[in-house]
Structure 1
Amino acid sequence: MTGSNRFPALHWIVHQWKDGRSPALWLLGAMMGVLAGYAALGLILAIELTSYLVFGSDHELLVSGVSGLPAWQIMLAPVGGGIVVSALLYLGRSRGWLQENRSGGVADVMEARAARSGHITVANGLLSATIAAVSLGSGGSAGREGPAVHLGAAIASLIARLLGLPPRAIRILLACGAAAAVAASFNAPVAGALFAFEIVLGHYALRTIAPVAIASVTGALISRFHLGATPAFAMPALSPAGLLDLPGVIGLGLLAALLSAAFVRSAIYAPRWIGETANRVGLPLWALPPLGGVLIGGLALIAPEILGVGYEATSNAVSGGYSIAVLIFLVVLKLLATAITLGFRFGGGVFSPSLYLGAMLGAAFGGLLALTGAETAGMSFYAVVGMGAVAGAALGAPLSTTLIVFELTASYEASVAVLIAVSLATVLSQSIAGGSIFHKQVLRRGYDLSRGQARVLLQTIRVREIMSPMQEDEAGADVDKEAPCLFDDDYLGKAIGFLSAEALDGTVVRSRTGDQPIIGYITRTEAHAAYAKALAEAHEEEHS
């Protein structure tokens, strides 16, 4: 009697796992919720430890924590952190643990889901998280949620490979890891799940809902068990909105569009411009962080509110703790500080800075409305609306940021206002900036996710995967050795375009190695059939 006949239940579970079916994925979703939840907690504790070593203060309370420190310590803290980050970047590049001279983030998870069969190495995830912990703990102006999502997805990728899961199940596990990480960071399980659907997966297929939801709730429960049920930001009671607040919300949505577009452009172009400048002067990219630390330290002497994740400053803005002039000043400095942090290769994400910018903008807008004498819902209400509008527009996640606001405030009126403002801001911002931060980051690596999976398939399927193999001597004497051909590493999109432009029914495929021998043959029919099959599989995955 075989093992599968003796233990039919075990055989069923293994078969379900291998096939990537829903019941087994629910169990894996819960497992990922635990692992990614604790990974997010570990990252928070690592940032906390670094912050106490550098500033002697909680990383979420840096504004008040550094108030009594000497100027030299505030100035040198980001420089010292930059030196450590440089060493980690050099180590990662020399060992092949980092793809580029930077740590990983949400865009890498999106790229892995769309173009790399969900593959993220654990070494990359752990090193990126370490870089982020040092960067944020020493004052780098960025967010902790992106590194947490990347680390959770790296763990999910490892588990999926160990179990031998099919690509579809791997992608679902990536979403589970991302959902649990966001839920644990913000103590917001609904928003965590929606973020995974909206950003990581890009669809809401029925099969994905249960495992992602289970992972997100599990991650949030772990966070509440260890850190308590308090939200990430201190939220005051919000005043009820009136009819006069509707045009105010629309006006704030317009301003949020402009600010989020500026944020997207600075986050994308600062790393590019600084990197190109470093290459021109012969400075390796891994050596940039200490130089950026000097600039961050200088800005911190002017306004310590720009340091770290900025949770305390965000809470102060929501509570009405700053004047209008200070709020506007902090918007400008935070934009500059975050651009420096990302451009000089510190680690960190963009979620927290976008919430910070939105809170400052919204509070300033609410304060200006109050000066007119109009009866409005007040600065706190508009600060909350601004948080959701700027973050949702900049990240391309309007629904999940709306849900984060609802879970933080439990205010239906504020959530409706955020939905109005973020809808307007997202459309206008992406028209101005050309897309969200995450999509533009992935686009720089060659993949246009904004046009859907159909475009990505043309950029990821290789000719070698669909050609008919053959030996060079099989080509015969009729083959023109100088005729145009395709290479085995060409993408499907190029193959279809080449065959169409040359009006060919088929052509030989060469290897790029050695003297470029003929190794296969591909026809136009095979290319179109492969594309049709891939489209059908993608459609089934996104709608079932």
Structure 2
Amino acid sequence: MTRNVARILILLRKMRRRFPRIDVMRVWVVAILIGIAAAYAVIGFRFAIDNVSLFAFGATEASMTSGAASLSPWRAWVAPVLGGLVVSAMLYLAERFNWLPGGRGQAVADVIEARAVSGGRISLRAGLAAAAVSAVSLGAGGSAGREGPAVHLGATISSLLNRKLGFDAKQRRALLGCGAAAAVSASFNAPIAGVLFALEVILGNYALSVFGPIAAASVSAAIVTRIHLGNFPAFAPPEYGAISNIDVPLAAVLGIICGLISSGFLLSTEKMTVSVREFAQKRNISYLLLPPIGGFIIGAIGIFYPEVFGVGYEAVTKALNGDYAIPLLVMLVVMKCAATAITLSCRFGGGVFSPGLVIGAFVGAAFGAALGQLLPGVTASPVYYAMIGMGAASGAILGAPISTTLIVFELTGEYGITISLMVAVAIATLITQYICGRSFFHWQLSRRGYDLSEGPQGIILKTTRVRDVMEAMPPGSPLAPDADRLETRQSLGDALARLNDAEEHGLPVVNAENRDQIVGYLSRVKALAAYNKALIEDNIEHHT
């Protein structure tokens, strides 16, 4: 009998040692499934955009510029207006049924928020509704990008599998990164960039424990996309000639220009979003009227400059081929920045990566063409600088220099621009961070009360609530009106500051609905212990 018990105990120990390995294998398997599912979701998303674009402009998203240019002016103008009306109806229904709280589309910033605040959870209804809104917005001519909504859609699929399979918070965050990586990989046919985007932007760390599953998801998505859509770069730039030693310092100058323009784009988008919101509140205008109003303005711009419509990749191809003169390129930079700011501030769905690529291509092509006139035969062709401008502007806007650099490599298939591209992206990002202080995603999150620029310690202090760490108590005697107290919904940072100001070892906790009834107690020791524990867990997650 004793021998049998010993054997059972030994078997249990062996199984316990194997459980972590089984758990890791489970994460890998689910990561591959996420990659496959996200790839098909992105393909479906692009198919939806194409169908809306065919109805609106008589051309798919890949040839929207040519399609809009061939239409009569009134038809080109009315397409985004009607699209805005449809978007308004969709936002109304989504908010009424609580699919999109706040009546706005969702993209990369919401995925970052889910990772930092919600334990990797994203509502399936919100993900599908946001994708539908973005498909209509982009297909009807809204000047934004499809990659942000695609990332959110991939993360939604990841969150769905997380809930069904019961992963812990750390695994949910890793798999959230898998969904984002797969979406980027499928959108750009760029599996390497997908991995680095998820690590750099979504997770904010390069831990070895998450690298493998994210790579598996990204590669799986790339394979599925190549099977259905082919294996070729998104852009096929023409030859840009020989590169001389002077092209690297000139690329640095282009980086400065792109940094300044990217800063102007971010600041103008932020100011326009705030101004539109304040104007609507003062005039008592419903946010549901904003999309058609925005569509009216975008359509008016698109009559003269159809390059601003939609994602804009056809315009990038034309810029790479040298189809635009310098004055037109300069005007297109201004118009694309304005159209994108209007699109985002008027609640159309979409992201900012594609606009960054388009703006950067226009700036780089204009810069290269000007150099060709000033220094004929000395520098590389405008194509060379257009590709560098794509990376510099988009990297600065996103605040993701590493993944953006690789995305440009994989989009163009050109690795001969490596040194110049890295120099330009680094300088543009540095200037934008100095002027604006944050990336587009962090600005969006700051509007919702989350400042993630302070690192893990700031995130913990802002996202952990008093109700999460307090000692619950049965209802007792009511508090005196002038007694110090904490609220359950207050952040841990606010609670520690209040404890310090009150010079108390602890304070009673109340609900916001009944500030006189004690529901718990939070001591300074318990608050600090919870903070230290969260810091340790975050450090382990980021470095293992």
Q: How far has the Cα of 1:15 moved from its partner? A: 5.4
Q: How far has the Cα of 1:270 moved from its partner? A: 2.0
Select 2:205's aligned residue among 186, 191, 203: 203
Select 1:428's aligned residue among 423, 427, 431: 431
Equivalent residue, structure 1, for 2:507: 507
Equivalent residue, structure 2, for 1:382: 385
Q: How far has the Cα of 1:48 moved from its partner? A: 0.4
List alignment gaps of at least 5 residues for structure 2: 1-7
Partners of 1:519 and 1:462 lie apart in 2 by 14
Equivalent residue, structure 1, for 2:101: 99
1:294-314 superposed Cα distances (whole Å, 9 cap, x missing partner): 111111111111111000001
Q: Describe the SS at the equivalent of 2:531.
A: helix
Matched, 1:161 2:169: no
Partners of 1:312 and 1:469 lie apart in 2 by 60
- Report the AA paired with residue 531 of structure 2: Y
1:64-120 superposed Cα distances (whole Å, 9 cap, x missing partner): 222321111111101111110000010111111112221000000001101111121
Select 1:117's aligned residue among 119, 130, 144: 119
- Report the AA paired with residue 78 of structure 1: P
Partners of 1:426 and 1:218 lie apart in 2 by 31
Partners of 1:128 and 1:438 lie apart in 2 by 17
1:124-178 superposed Cα distances (whole Å, 9 cap, x missing partner): 1101100111011111110000000011111111110111111111111111111
Equivalent residue, structure 2, for 1:269: 271
Select 1:310's aligned residue among 309, 312, 321: 312
- On the 8 A contact 1:270/1:339 being kept in 2, the answer is yes
Q: How far has the Cα of 1:16 moved from its partner? A: 5.3
Select 2:462's aligned residue among 427, 434, 459: 459
Equivalent residue, structure 1, for 2:370: 368
RMSD (Å), alpha carbons: 2.0
Partners of 2:150 and 2:437 lie apart in 1 by 26
Equivalent residue, structure 2, for 1:181: 183
- On the 8 A contact 1:22/1:207 being kept in 2, the answer is no
1:489-520 superposed Cα distances (whole Å, 9 cap, x missing partner): 21100111111111111111122234631111
Residues 108/515 of structure 1: CA separation in 2 closer, same or farther (3 Å cut): closer
Q: Describe the SS at the equivalent of 1:236.
A: coil
Equivalent residue, structure 1, for 2:56: 54
Q: Which moved more, 1:486-495 or 1:82-91?
A: 486-495
Q: How far has the Cα of 1:13 moved from its partner? A: 13
Partners of 1:146 and 1:227 lie apart in 2 by 20
Equivalent residue, structure 2, for 1:149: 151
Residues 339/481 of structure 1: CA separation in 2 closer, same or farther (3 Å cut): closer
Partners of 2:444 and 2:357 lie apart in 1 by 19
Select 2:286's aligned residue among 284, 290, 296: 284
- On the 8 A contact 1:270/1:342 being kept in 2, the answer is no
Matched, 1:409 2:412: yes
- Report the AA paired with residue 483 of structure 1: A
Q: Which moved more, 1:408-417 or 1:344-353?
A: 408-417
Q: How far has the Cα of 1:291 moved from its partner? A: 1.0
- Report the AA paired with residue 490 of structure 1: Q
Partners of 2:58 and 2:19 lie apart in 1 by 52
Q: How far has the Cα of 1:14 moved from its partner? A: 11
Partners of 1:304 and 1:471 lie apart in 2 by 65
Matched, 1:437 2:440: yes
Equivalent residue, structure 2, for 1:248: 250
Equivalent residue, structure 1, for 2:130: 128
- On the 8 A contact 2:248/2:419 being kept in 1, the answer is no
- Report the AA paired with residue 487 of structure 1: E
Equivalent residue, structure 2, for 1:139: 141
1:206-250 superposed Cα distances (whole Å, 9 cap, x missing partner): 000011011111111111111111222232233332111122111
Equivalent residue, structure 1, for 2:484: 484
Q: Describe the SS at the equivalent of 1:519.
A: strand
**Aligned pairs for 1:523-538 within 5 A:** 523-538=523-538
- On the 8 A contact 2:233/2:412 being kept in 1, the answer is no
Equivalent residue, structure 1, for 2:86: 84
Q: How far has the Cα of 1:12 moved from its partner? A: 8.8
Equivalent residue, structure 2, for 1:450: 453
Partners of 2:412 and 2:291 lie apart in 1 by 37
Q: How far has the Cα of 1:482 moved from its partner? A: 2.7
Select 2:358's aligned residue among 332, 356, 374: 356
- On the 8 A contact 1:271/1:342 being kept in 2, the answer is yes
Residues 507/297 of structure 1: CA separation in 2 closer, same or farther (3 Å cut): same
Residues 515/398 of structure 1: CA separation in 2 closer, same or farther (3 Å cut): closer
Partners of 1:509 and 1:373 lie apart in 2 by 71
- Report the AA paired with residue 249 of structure 2: P
- Report the AA paired with residue 215 of structure 2: A
- On the 8 A contact 1:467/1:522 being kept in 2, the answer is yes
Partners of 1:482 and 1:373 lie apart in 2 by 76
- Report the AA paired with residue 355 of structure 1: L
- On the 8 A contact 1:141/1:309 being kept in 2, the answer is yes
- On the 8 A contact 2:233/2:413 being kept in 1, the answer is no
Q: How many equivalent residue pairs? A: 533
List alignment gaps of at least 5 residues for structure 1: none
Q: How far has the Cα of 1:528 moved from its partner? A: 0.6
Q: How far has the Cα of 1:200 moved from its partner? A: 0.3
Residues 275/14 of structure 1: CA separation in 2 closer, same or farther (3 Å cut): farther
Residues 421/303 of structure 1: CA separation in 2 closer, same or farther (3 Å cut): same
- On the 8 A contact 1:122/1:155 being kept in 2, the answer is yes
- Report the AA paired with residue 112 of structure 1: A
Q: How far has the Cα of 1:269 moved from its partner? A: 2.5
The TM-score, its normalising length taken from structure 1, stands at 0.95
Q: How far has the Cα of 1:409 moved from its partner? A: 3.2
Matched, 1:295 2:311: no
1:255-276 superposed Cα distances (whole Å, 9 cap, x missing partner): 0110110121223222221121
Equivalent residue, structure 1, for 2:5: none
Partners of 2:17 and 2:331 lie apart in 1 by 58
**Aligned pairs for 1:469-480 within 5 A:** 469-473=472-476
